Structure 1
Amino acid sequence: MSAPHRLAVPLALALSLALAGVHAEPVRLPQGASAGPCVEGICEYRLGNGLRVLLFPDASRPTVTLNLVYAVGSAQENYGETGMAHLLEHMLFKGTPTNRDIPAQMKKRGIDYNATTTLDHTDYYASFPADEATLDWVLALEADRMVHSDIAKADLDSEMTVVRNEMESGENSPLRALYERVRSTAYLWHHYGQSTIGARSDVEAVPIERLRGYYRTWYRPDNATLVIAGRIDPQRTLAAVARSFAAVAKPAQPLPAFYTREPAQDGEREVTVRRVGDLRLLMSAYHTPAITHADAAPLAVLDDVLGHIPGGRLHKALVAGGLAESVGVGADALRDPGLFSAQVALAKDGDSAKAQQLLLAQLEGIGAQPVSAAEVDAAKQRIRNAYEQAYTNVSGVAMGLSDPIAAGDWRLYFQFRDALEKVDADAVNRVAKTYLRASNRTLGRFEPSDKPDRVEVPQAPDAASALKGYVGKAAVDAGEQFDPSPANLQARTQTVTIDTGVGRGLKLALLPKKNRGGTVTFSANFRFGDEASLRGREAAGSLAGSMLMRGGAGLSREQIDARFEALKTTARVGGGLQSASIGLHTRREQLADAVALAAQLLRQPAFPETEFEQLRRQAIVGLESQRREPDALAGQALAKHFDPWPAGHPLRARSLDESLAQIKAIKLDELRAFHRDFYGSAEGEIAVVGDFDPETLKRQLQALFAAWKPGHAFAPIATHYTAVAPEQRRLETPDKANGVLIARANVALKETDADYPALVAANYILGGGMKSRLGDRIRRKDGLSYGVGSDLDADSSRDGRDDAGSWSVQAIAAPQNLDKVERAMREELTRLAEGGVAADELRDAVSGLLTQREQARASDATVAVLLSRNLFFDRTMQFSADLDAKFKALTVESVNAAIKRSLKPQDFSVYLAGDFAAGDKPAAAK
């Protein structure tokens, strides 16, 4: 349900905030409520019981996102309580006397929901198409479970294995394990050093009375902030909040105060984690001030200067230099002093001593090689672009404010953004020399010293002092109120075919509309190659596409990155076996230049030798790292068993060793030859959605793409249903606490089949989320798995013949529980095959599916994908409208008949992977 801990990332990139226009007129306050500050379209209110309410109206997207932030996380846990905040997050989905089955109610209404627990806060969020009744229901639910959640012993017992499984899934990650050990070593006393998932002993032994006491202590209106963003009427919404929450009493007992401060570190520290794996990792962390301190902004810029890829100092020194495969940097921006950390990944046989020496030299040697003004300007531009792009995505506003709220005040987001603009090279060099010092480092080594060198992290002012006199900037203009129904999408879309003399020509779907910030999404796919011409060139086709943004059109990889940043554009130019693609998210003013640059990169790649070797090393290390991963081994076994293709076929499944051999043997000239022999842009599909001029763009697209013909004409490779005999395999993966189950059976199915809508609904009921038959049985009732679900894959083709469908189930669990998971899965498959679905299940499934489809069409990126698929398959948006109608027309009889025709439980192959040997040992021997 939640990621138990988040790796440190720059605040500018971690907070996805959208800005909107200010309220058109003052909001009348409910009785007992008061108004707070408004900044850039967001206004604060407070109820008489202390609940803060932030309203952010935006009419340009037909959705609403609600986020209830409690100022409690792992930092508020005492001895014996570690993991309690996260455990409570799970328990609040177990129900109240009024709302017994919360996941079922959410699913029935088509609400996208989840919760997260972090160091300083716990969030419960929901997103749904704008609807007053749904908003009222969610508000009533949150007010109800704020104080009336059952927190029952039986629910705690059933959820315990699920939480343990979530803990075990994290233990499989070498980076997460190392990160947690570094944090726990860096902090002696402050609870930022303890993992949000908690100690296993605390989680397993927590008395229910203590968990209830923790709930009563922290879940209260004066410790919560409710954020509501999207298509809302502020007046009505505030009144609705008051109706649900005003009656929730503020406890007489004040909130607990925490006063522990981490003392200055007095020497280098080191920690070593030894586990089975195929990567070497290094991490170095340094104590730094809280977000309200003046040094936080230059530290965020330093983060980008060091960690940006490909222009950052660490990437250039370690990855481009051939010593490492990847690097990362993160600067905490928290309520209390956090960590500035850098991590490096090396191949198993990499020179870790040399990499460590160079890493520390880059971090702690900035005094000898100061950061330049040009580096600072480039970093600030990238951060500025990230902020500006976030402004156009109002759906992220509710979640983006969580960290600033927990740090003391939501307006810190804006103040921090403004502080970044004032950072110069002197400030960046000063904080680097102040904090990135050996005596303040946690790599893990402690050595006595006659002259301790200690870094005193200064006390940061409180949020009120830091924000004194702050008013923020002007709000960003909003776009039009757009109706994303299939009929309106079709009516607003211009479809054009450019006859290029190649295949079906170049098809365009252009949907101009006014967006917040003038944003536009550009998606292009260019087709080439057939089965015969592609034989033996699979690796070259894959790697050639990965090289397109690593140098071309006279620009280096770093220059390409800088050019797109200057154009305020998020760009992706790549390719695969039968297609090349361009994906852009940009602004109206930059669209033409961004498209022109992407076209140049597609047509004029440089294929630099150094970047090729870097890419090859990364691919090799990535494959090697999968050798002992349960999900990778199970997936490879399944792929091999279900592979219908003969040796030499372009689509034939390849083992890890075969893939490694291909990558190790391939030459750069093979990539150049693949691009020369296959690439072209005269056949394909381009979909553009957002703020642009269609006529101008059409002329540009014809000039850029119509004349470049592919070397081999495109012909889709046909795929057909193949019967596969069932098999069962157990795959041993030593020292992996989390295991996996993957099951699959082939089904003759395509998207245009009459049974397709019925089977989609059946799969939604079987394994479509936590509230499903598999979720109810394996997670909620049996408490065996943190994550379980099913997928239905249907084929599609232009001629309507391809029918290579499949039904699959996936689950994670402790290895000793995988046999129980398999038994439960087979029982649920049999129950569905023999008993079918019930009327209430089908009603809720159809409601949830239709709501999800409606909400998906509110995203420009999703619409661009839909329009592009329509072009490829010769469809219109009527296909989506017809599918919606077919869902609405489903009956229990039609769904159950389709299930009987397609679901054969005995045909499923099952693959279990995990450390079964360790699971078979007695507890004392583990």
Structure 2
Amino acid sequence: MSRVNVRLWVAAISAAFFCLAGTPARGQDVPALPVRSTTLSNGLRVVVVEDHAAPVVQTGVWYRFGSLYEQPGKTGLAHALEHMMFRGTPNISASGLDDIVAHVGAQMNAETNYDYTHFYFVMPSDKVSIALAIEADRMRNAQIAQSEWRVERGAVLSELDGDASSPFFSLLSSVRAAAYPDSPAGLTSLGKRNDVVGATANDIRKYYEQWYAPNNAILVVAGDAAPAAVFAIARKMFGSIPPKVLPKYDSGRPAAAHGKTAESDFPFPFEVVDMAYAIPGDAERGEPEMSALAALIANQRGPFYRALVETNVALAVMANADTQLRGGIMHVFIVLNRARDAGEAQAIFQNTMDQLLHNGIDPELVSTARHATIAERALGSDSISGVEYLVGYTYGIVRERVEDEDQRLQAITPQSMLSVAREFLSAPTVVGHLRPSDKPPTGSSQKSTSNATDDFSARVPSGKIVVPPVIASQMRVPTGAHGKLLPQIFHLSNGMTLAVQQRTDRPTITMRGSISAAAAFEPAGKAGIARLASDLANFGSAQFAFDAQHKTIDDLGGQVTLGQSFEAHIFSRDLERALALLADGEAHPTFPERYFAQERDQLAGSIGQEQNISGQAVQRAYLQLLLNANDPALRFPSEQTVKSISRADLLAYVQNYWRPDLTTLALVGDVTPERARAAVEAAFDGWRSPGATPPAHEPDLPAAHAAHAYVGTDAGEVFIQIGQPVLARSNPDYNALLLLNEILAGSGAFESRLLNEMRQKRGLVYSVSGKIDSDRDRGDMTIVLSAAPAKVESAVRFVRSQLRELQRHEVTQTELVDAKARASSDALLAEESQAGEARQLLDLVRNNLPSNYFATLADRNARITPADLLRVAKTYLRPDALIEIYAGPPGPWSEHSLFQ
């Protein structure tokens, strides 16, 4: 079930901004990345970062052309050009590109920012030449025809309109416009809608012909690749592309306004004040200090947190930079507590800032902020995707070495930080204000950044498949890459389960822990107690009171979160110290009186408001029809149930249900299994379980049954969710059912039957995808689609007809081979990061799977036949007993089932 937690929401917003503004890199004592580079005769720089931790590569092509390069009246076209790069060439059609990605088991994406456009593939490493062939072909031969633009313009406008439905994107847009009036920097990367509407393919092609050139780009390959081999492929693929004479571009810092305001009314559950400041860009003096100041402002031991959050004025305060190479905006978001005034919060923040600028900055907080900024960069480079992004942006866009920024960060002093703060943070450039409105949401976007980030792996393909023979022959050969995930699993003396995967590519460790729970653990009338306990666990424990807890986290320079689910992302040298913090936080949370009432009241106040977040009503309606009426999972928290929780209730809850015999810890990184086991045993040894282990299982789902519900919204299209119970994760038929789902709908794969038939051939839907969501106790299968009102009835009836078809006839061998490739690749690509591997380890243990489950997945899938899928379809699919949920404008679906 999806429930929104304000702290998780805040974390998600923060993470999105850090991805936008902070390029992760290495810390002072972290070994340099093994960067190798060469420059081709046409000016293309090729950079390889070799890392054999997983058989995966990420390739990236970075063009030094973004939205700031656009001319007046022709805005939004850098983003439009990004889209058109996926519309194909004479050699590889748009559908051909989708076909390649599906067969290879790759992911492809792109993003347009102020100063660059970035295209990237993630795929098994033995297919890297395919990615480079695609990139070289479209660097030279992009087919930007008016007929193709007529098709793609709808997608670009849909994205622009969808992002406009995001409350934070709306706020960011209005703040930018106020900060940089009459300047390209005053627009988001999506540009002006009218410019996109009026644009022609020739307008877009002009930008392509001017800026998309080898001497204005960098190619990065990170992961399981040898530099010499990549350089040879790059010379072959890109070497004959001629360079271009590039237009002149004014790269100066844009002039900012002063003392402006920006108002945004939106259906959003929280009121937000944005204290926005014009600041230096990523290539300018003062940028390192601004990065550290952002960390200082958000620090829970800092003056702003104490003045705003500890006084219950705000739920959160966070600072993030939305920057270009030159210029940008520092956003300080203050999420208000209910019934508190925006003017009050603004005055408190300004008074606190004035005191800091007058009295100076505590040297300890300066050291903490500097350390946190360096560590954030270093920890971000322990994934293949993180390395590719870091190296591409640093070498290709900023045009310096990773080490250069690290050295500037190390040089920050209290004096330099104070000087920069006084220069740029004395008064806000713009004060933004996001006010909740009562109008129902018309869209579903929760976008929180101002760049244009796309997901072309999930796009809707169209047209004829055209693929060159050389690529066709390569993509039909299954990957020879095999997953390396083979953990050691230990059952510790106190009942904990520990899973360890050693990888030595970076000196970091990711830990993810989970305490198994059942909804029935929450006492009657106390729904929400698990959420509250997890929130308050981060406010101190027996050996680490609040200040000590957060100072330890600051000293680690990592990320630590406590609660029912807990995690840490740290340097490997700090393993024992981080484990001491985790062990005490899980075994002995204190829920201090100082913070208890504050956190409980904040959670209670946000519960009712959360219902305005898009998708909550649909999910609740679905669960109410899927589960038995007395299922404990239907005990939804309310303001009343949360307010009824006492501190004694919390202490009793964790005493009974936070226990080592229900706890699993996954540990991935630069540590031997022996050291990991000894360290975890030592840290958690004092944590013991009282009495017999309570059964942390959920009740069985009822038999499949027909049911119907409708949720009215102002949206123009109808969102449909169709579902039924299926099987548990540990069922031997689980993998076969996953393959069946891939063939039917998958994640919207090009070859899936529903997308191919409903979108491509019949035009019934805008999108369609399917999902199996199973745990060790139970599972369900859902198909979600969106359609115009006139086509809803035909669409849902077609879905049922395809479910019946799967029960009548075997799938084709080609369909099954393609589905196996996608399923195996999904598991393989998860190994590109420590975090992905940690999630897989938890999946193994929580579902009682063998330790070699992922390592042998491809081999086990290879033995599944079309006859197996026919048997599974007949056993588990129930096309005459489906749950239907409709959301959108009224129609026949708002009154009754369409399967009648």
Question: Do the two structures share a fold, i.e. TM-score over 0.5?
Answer: yes
Between the aligned partners of 2:481 and 2:673, the Cα distance in structure 1 is 19
Structure 1 Cα separation of the partners of residues 490 and 820 of structure 2: 34
The match for 1:102 among 69, 78, 97 is 97
Q: Do the aligned partners of 2:721 and 2:884 also contact (CA within 8 Å) in 1?
A: yes
The offset of 1:325, in angstroms, is: 1.4
Query: 2:393 aligned with 1:419, yes or no?
Result: no
1:207-250 Cα deviation digits (max 9, x unpaired) = 22222333323322222111111222111110100111112222
Q: 2:626 matched to which residue of 1?
A: 642
Alignment partners' CA distance in 2, 1:530 and 1:442: 43
Checking the alignment, whether the CA contact within 8 Å between 1:297 and 1:420 is kept in structure 2 is yes
Question: Cα gap change, 1:514/1:257 in structure 2, threshold over 3 Å: closer, same or farther?
Answer: closer
Q: Percent identity?
A: 24
Alignment of 1:585 onto 2:569: yes
Corresponding residue of 2:273: 282
Give the Cα separation in 1 of the matches to 2:103 and 2:162. 29
Deviations 1:14-47, CA, capped at 9 Å, x for gaps:
2134699999xxxxxxxxxxxxxxx853233222
For residues 887 and 309 of structure 2, the distance between their equivalents in structure 1, rounded to whole angstroms, comes to 33
Q: Superposition RMSD on alpha carbons, in Å?
A: 3.6
| 1:563 matched residue in structure 2 | 552
Paired letter, 1:552: S
The match for 1:291 is 282
Rate the CA distance shift 1:907–1:818 in 2: closer, same or farther, 3 A. farther
Asked if 1:759 is matched to 2:754, the reply is no
Give, as a single letter, the amino acid of the residue that structure 1 aligns with 2:130. Answer: W
Alignment of 1:16 with 2:24, yes or no, is yes
Q: Give the 5 Å matches for 1:636-715.
A: 636-646=620-630, 649-654=631-636, 658-682=637-661, 684-695=663-674, 697-703=676-682, 704-705=684-685, 708-710=688-690, 713-715=693-695
- Report what 2:106 is aligned to: 111
| 1:255 maps onto 2:247 in alignment | yes
Aligned counterpart, 1:827 = 798
Work out the CA distance in 1 between the residues paired with 2:582 and 2:322.
34
How far does residue 138 in structure 1 lie from its aligned partner after superposition? 0.8
TM-score w.r.t. the length of structure 1 is: 0.81
- Residue by residue over 1:72-97, the C-alpha shift from the partner in whole angstroms, topping out at 9 and shown as x without a partner, is 22212223322222222222222222
Relative to structure 2, which stretch is displaced further, 696-705 or 552-561?
696-705
Match of 1:852 in 2: 826
Judge which range, 148-157 or 423-432, deviates more: 148-157
Deviations 1:50-75 (A, max 9, x none): 21211222233332111111122221
What SS does the aligned partner of 2:615 have? Answer: helix
2:386 is aligned with 1:396: yes
1:895 equivalent in structure 2: 869
Show CA shifts across 1:860-891 (max 9, x none): 44444444444455442344456433421333
1:916–1:432: structure 2 CA closer, same or farther, 3 Å change rule? farther
2-structure distance, mates of 1:527, 1:439? 46
SS of structure 1 residue aligned to 2:638 = helix
Distance 1:175 1:685, change over 3 A: closer
- Shift in alpha-carbon separation, 1:484–1:570, aligned structure 2, 3 A: farther
Deviations 1:241-271 (A, max 9, x none): 01111122223x5335236753353x41112
Please show how residues 481-496 of structure 1 align to structure 2 within 5 Å: 490=486, 493-496=487-490
Number of aligned pairs?
827
Q: Which runs of 5+ in 2 are unaligned?
A: 1-12, 435-479, 892-900
Tell me if structure 2 keeps the 8 A contact 1:519–1:588: yes
> Which of 363, 370, 377 lines up with 2:367 in the alignment?
377
Name the counterpart of 1:453. none
Deviations along 1:831-859, one digit per CA (max 9) or x if unpaired, are 46426644333222211221222333454
Q: Which residue of 1 aligns with 2:262?
A: 271
Q: CA distance change for structure 1 residues 690 and 330 in 2, over 3 Å: closer, same or farther?
A: closer
Give the deviation of 1:155 after TM superposition.
3.5
Deviation at 1:145, TM superposition (A): 1.4
CA contact (8 A) 1:19 1:392 kept: no
The alpha-carbon distance between structure 1 residues 214 and 903, as it changes in their structure 2 partners (threshold 3 A), is: farther
**Structure 1 residues 770 and 738, CA gap change in structure 2 (3 angstroms):** farther
Label 1:889 to 1:883 Cα distance change in 2 as closer, same or farther (>3 A). same
- TM, length-normalised to structure 2: 0.83
Any idea what the Cα deviations from partners look like across 1:907-926, whole Å, max 9, x if unmatched?
44333334779xxxxxxxxx
For the structure 1 residues 826 and 379, does the alpha-carbon distance in structure 2 shift closer, same or farther, using more than 3 Å as the test? farther
Residue 313 of structure 2 aligns to a residue whose secondary structure is coil
1:789 aligns with 2:769: yes
2:138 corresponds to 1:129: no
* C-alpha contact (below 8 Å) 2:21/2:320 kept by paired residues: no
Q: Is the 8 A contact 1:631 1:913 kept in 2?
A: no
Query: Counterpart of 1:286 in 2: which secondary structure?
Result: strand
Mean Cα displacement is larger for which, 834-843 or 203-212? 834-843
1:339 maps to which residue? 329
For the pair 1:840 / 2:808, whether they are aligned, the reply is no
Equivalence map 1:395-794=2 (5 Å):
395-404=385-394, 407-411=397-401, 413-438=402-427, 440-443=429-432, 490=486, 493-498=487-492, 505-511=495-501, 513=502, 515-526=504-515, 531=520, 534-575=523-564, 581-646=565-630, 649-654=631-636, 658-682=637-661, 684-695=663-674, 697-703=676-682, 704-705=684-685, 708-710=688-690, 713-723=693-703, 725-734=705-714, 741-753=719-731, 755-765=733-743, 766-773=745-752, 774-776=754-756, 788-794=768-774
1:651 match: secondary structure: helix
**Could you tell me which residue of structure 1 aligns to residue 74 of structure 2?**
81
User: Shift of the alpha carbon at 1:382?
Assistant: 1.1
Deviates more, 1:120-129 or 1:741-750: 741-750
SS in 2 for 1:97: coil
Q: Is the 8 A contact 2:177 2:186 kept in 1?
A: yes
Amino acid at match of 1:652: L
> How far is 1:538 from its partner?
4.2
Q: Deviations over 1:610-629 (max 9, x none)?
A: 43334334434543443333
Does structure 1 conserve the Cα–Cα contact (< 8 Å) formed by 2:44 and 2:219?
Answer: yes
Alignment check: 8 A CA contact 1:540 1:666 kept? yes
How do 1:59-74 residues align onto structure 2 when only pairs under 5 Å count? 59-74=52-67
Secondary structure in 2 matching 1:374 = helix
**Cα distance in structure 2, aligned partners of 1:6 and 1:372:** 24
What letter corresponds to residue 664 of structure 1 in structure 2? Answer: K
Distance 1:674 1:410, change over 3 A: same
Answer yes or no: is 1:808 the counterpart of 2:782.
Answer: yes
Alignment CA distance shift 1:341-1:586 (3 Å): closer
- Distance change in 2, residues 1:625/1:733 (3 Å): farther
CA shift digits 1:571-625 (9 cap, x unpaired):
23211xxxxx543333443222221221112222221234333433443454344
Asked if structure 2 preserves the Cα contact closer than 8 Å seen for 1:749 and 1:805, the reply is: yes
Kept in 2: contact 1:159–1:783 (CA 8 A)? no
> In the aligned structure 2, how far is the partner of 1:390 from the partner of 1:871?
26
Distance 1:312 1:829, change over 3 A: farther
Q: d(CA) in 2 for partners of 1:8 and 1:53? A: 28
Say whether the 8 Å CA contact 1:678–1:710 is kept in structure 2. no
Q: Deviations over 1:125-147 (max 9, x none)?
A: 1122321xx11111111111123
How far, CA to CA, are the matches of 2:889 and 2:352 in structure 1? 39
**Does 310-319 or 528-537 show the bigger shift?**
528-537
Q: 1:818 to 1:200 in 2, by over 3 A?
A: farther
Distance change in 2, residues 1:436/1:821 (3 Å): farther
| Cα distance change, pair 414–820 in 1 and its aligned pair in 2 (3 A) | farther
Find the aligned partners of 1:337 and 1:381 in 2 and give their Cα distance.
Answer: 24
Q: Offset of 1:300 from its aligned partner? A: 1.7
Rounded to whole Å, the distance in 2 between the matches of 1:587 and 1:19 is 10
Give me the whole-angstrom Cα distance separating, in 2, the residues matched to 1:783 and 1:562.
Answer: 57
